[in-house]
Amino acid sequence: MALVQCDNISIAYEGQTVVYDLSFEIHQGDYLCIVGENGSGKSTLVKSLIGLKSPSKGKIILNDGLRQNEIGYLPQQNDVQKDFPASVYEVVLSGRLNSRGFRPFYTAGDKKAAKENMQLLGIERLGKNCFRDLSGGQKQRVLLARALCATKKLLLLDEPVTGLDPIVTAEFYQLIKEVNEKSKIAVVMVSHDIESAVRDASHILHLQETALFFGTTEDYRKSPVGRQFIKSGQIQPEAEKTAGGERS
């Protein structure tokens, strides 16, 4: 059974349909990259998956006990507050807030999860450092650890390497791949980087308001749309945001 089923969904923004008649599935352990041109609805789709937008048509079905507040989410850097006046450990631990329910304090299990994810991402030595004093790459590792604290099944990443230099970007891609392979957490990442997508992902959703392609990376390489975009090398990461950033 699929972890997430999107059944013929359409999503509207300010009365205009920006994603329509879209169907695809995410299974445990999948690494799905969502690619497409500017304004194709990629970020809008991610926001629907985490419950920030409801489909105007169709259904998003969560299976295997998955709830939307148990999905780890790393938004675009423009959407992230980079000036948290908190320690690295406190930022990572805050990923457990949704699962805390009505409990007023973090449990020993919450604290253990935070420390384990910091260790997994190689940032345990930064635990007492102030988040806002970190480099861009370090901040992304901290925010990824925070997202991992929120989930055991599904991680959504919306263009997580935007603004990072090439070396840090390569390290971050490798980190995502290792998290996916070691933990079997399903990863869904919005990306402009076709080369990295076809190198690392198990599945590709090529979105242009609806699915131009959905399937395995191997099949995408052979498809007409895949061959076209792989040949071009990369979809240019221009500013996608229109009307407050809802159409990327």
**182: domain CATH number?**
3.40.50.300
Number of helices (H), then strands (E), belonging to the chain: the values are: 9, 9
- Mean pLDDT is lowest, of 4-13, 22-31, 148-157, 235-244, for 235-244
- The predicted pLDDT at position 147 comes to 95
Average of per-residue pLDDT across 120-149 = 93
Residue 36 has pLDDT above 80, yes or no: yes
One-letter amino acid for residue 6 of the chain: C
Instruction: Please name the residue that has the structure tokens 């970007």.
Output: 169
Give the Cβ contact number of residue 217 at 10 Å: 18
DSSP three-state, residue 110:
helix
Same domain, 166 and 232: yes
Mean pLDDT (whole number) for 202-223:
95
- Three-state SS for 108? helix
Q: Residue 7: what residue type?
A: D
149-144-62-159 Cα dihedral, nearest 10 degrees: 170
Length of the chain: 248
Query: What are the tokens at 117?
Result: 């994810």
User: Angle at which helices 108-120 and 136-149 pack, to 10 degrees?
Assistant: 140
Q: Which domain holds residue 122?
A: 80-150
More confident residue, 92 or 77: 92
Write the DSSP symbol of residue 127.
T
Among 170, 137, 163, 9, CA closest to 79? 163
What is the model's pLDDT at position 231?
76
Regarding whether 173 and 244 lie in a shared domain, the answer is yes
Q: Which of 125, 150, 175 is the last residue of a domain?
A: 150
Same domain for 193 and 118: no
What's the pLDDT score for residue 78?
A: 60
In this structure, are strands 57-62 and 4-13 parallel, antiparallel, or unpaired? Answer: antiparallel
pLDDT band at 150 (very low <50, low <70, confident <90, very high): very high
Residue 85 and residue 145 in one domain: yes
Q: Per-residue pLDDT averaged across 32-50, rounded?
A: 90
Q: Decide: helix, strand or coil at residue 118.
A: helix
First to last CA, the chain: 29
- Residue of 62, 45, 65 lying closest to 54 (CA atoms): 45
Q: 121 vs 78, 96, 126, 144, CA distance in Å? A: 22, 17, 11, 8
Q: State whether 146 and 204 are in the same domain.
A: no
Above 90 in pLDDT, residue 81?
Answer: no
Tell me which of 93 and 1 has the higher pLDDT: 93
For a pLDDT cut of 70, what percent of the chain falls above it? 88
Per the prediction, the chain carries an average pLDDT of 88
Confidence of residue 242 (pLDDT cuts 50, 70, 90): very low
Coil, strand or helix at 152: coil
Question: How is the beta sheet containing 57-62 ordered, strand by strand?
Answer: 16-26, 4-13, 57-62
Domain boundary among 150, 168, 188: 150
pLDDT average, residue stretch 63-87 = 81
The model carries a pTM of 0.87
127 and 174 inside one domain: no
Q: Looking at residue 37, what is its pLDDT?
A: 85
Q: Do 186 and 244 have their domain in common?
A: yes
Please state the rounded mean pLDDT for residues 190-208.
93
Show which of 108, 128, 150 is a domain's final residue.
150
Domain match, 64 and 120 both: no
Beta bridge partners of 34: 190, 205
The verdict on 93 and 122 lying in the same domain is: yes
Same domain for 145 and 27, yes or no, is: no
**Whether residue 171 sits in one domain with residue 85:** no
When divided into structural domains, the chain yields a total of 2
| Residue with more model confidence, 23 or 228 | 23
Q: Same structural domain for residues 45 and 117?
A: no
Evaluate whether 189 touches 202 at the Cβ level (below 8 Å).
no
